[in-house]
């Protein structure tokens, strides 16, 4: 991922060189050549995805494209901060690299699991989670769409919650993850990450950012740091964030970075009657298609 842009732009090569330098690792090589099992390790994946996000963002900015507002799903929220001018590229990379290390550390201490629950609404899933807590730690991790909610926690508790969901007409789909992200099982990372955040310079956003934890805006840099610290163990309120964008009449949505997961979620959220268009900028082809559509 990111290879076509790396070959096309000097400034993209500079981004990947910077990420390799910050991480003291060959993140660029993993992005371009793999192997997949190394790329998908949390400590590598977080800076790798962020590098591609920033490369795509830089290519858009070179063409004079700036967002009216930004949002990012979990890890992607750091790229949203970069897009809004809250953090520099280097500091963004430092943050996600530290975050990945701390999350990996906690995941090796506490075995975790995550399942996507489909066909049930958030209130029903919350009730199921409350009931399943008798088996151990389990919580809502991501409210992705009206009827796609990811749960997270101890394997037995998550499995039990999936069984309860099935009994109510839902379905639990196990996800390939290495830890119980956005749960109490990685609470041990929060204090160290908060201390790391405190040392990072944050600026007020140039454009509004919708945050995962609050599904709302925040402009105070110190409050943003608090939100990003609590994001580790808090639910991602993505569905609410996308609904808020509709409330504010956003009509052009652009997913920036690898894959098309967020675009897929958006298509399940936004009704056909709402005037909108969805674009993906995940490489040169996506960039060219988007520019052709909007310029």
Distances (CA, A) of 280 to 53, 128, 277: 11, 35, 10
Contact by Cβ (8 Å): 137, 185? yes
Residues paired with 278 in a beta bridge: 253
Given the residues 74, 88, 178, 263, the one annotated as active site: 74
Buried b (16+ CB within 10 A) or exposed e, 222-251: eebbebbbebbbbbbbbbbbbebbbeeebe
Task: Give the three-class secondary structure for 72.
Answer: coil
CA neighbor of 157 nearest in space, from 181, 120, 177, 128: 128
CA neighbor of 39 nearest in space, from 29, 47, 30: 30
Given the residues 101, 162, 182, 183, the one annotated as active site: 182
Query: Residue 224 and residue 203: Cα distance in Å, rounded?
Result: 9
Is 182 one of the catalytic residues?
A: yes
CA neighbor of 54 nearest in space, from 18, 28, 84, 15: 15
Query: Would you please indicate which residues are annotated as catalytic (active-site) residues?
Result: 74, 182
């Amino acid at each position: 991922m990111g290879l076509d842009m790396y070959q096309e732009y000097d400034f993209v090569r500079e981004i990947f060189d910077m990420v390799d330098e910050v991480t003291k690792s060959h993140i660029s090589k993993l992005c371009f050549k793999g192997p997949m099992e190394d790329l998908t390790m949390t400590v590598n994946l977080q800076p790798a995805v962020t590098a591609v996000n920033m490369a795509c963002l830089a290519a858009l900015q070179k063409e004079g494209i700036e967002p009216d507002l930004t949002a990012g799903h979990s890890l992607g929220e750091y790229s949203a901060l970069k897009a809004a001018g809250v953090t520099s590229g280097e500091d963004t990379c430092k943050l996600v690299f530290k975050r990945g290390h701390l999350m990996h550390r906690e995941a090796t201490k506490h075995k975790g699991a995550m399942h996507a629950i489909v066909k049930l609404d958030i209130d029903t899933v919350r009730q199921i989670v409350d009931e399943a807590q008798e088996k151990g730690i389990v919580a809502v991790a991501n409210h992705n769409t009206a009827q796609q909610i990811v749960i997270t926690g101890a394997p037995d508790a998550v499995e039990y919650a999936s069984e309860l969901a099935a009994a109510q007409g839902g379905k639990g789909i196990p996800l390939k993850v290495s830890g119980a992200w956005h749960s109490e099982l990685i609470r041990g990372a929060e204090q160290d990450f908060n201390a790391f955040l405190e040392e990072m310079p944050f600026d007020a956003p140039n454009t509004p950012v919708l945050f995962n934890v609050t599904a709302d805006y925040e402009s105070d840099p110190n409050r943003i740091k608090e939100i990003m610290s609590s994001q580790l163990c808090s639910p991602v309120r993505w569905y609410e964030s996308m609904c808020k964008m509709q409330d504010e009449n956003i009509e052009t949505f652009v997913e920036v970075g690898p894959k098309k997961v967020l675009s897929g979620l958006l298509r399940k959220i936004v009704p056909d009657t709402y005037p909108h268009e969805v674009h993906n900028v995940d490489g040169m082809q996506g960039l060219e298609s988007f520019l052709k559509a909007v310029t």
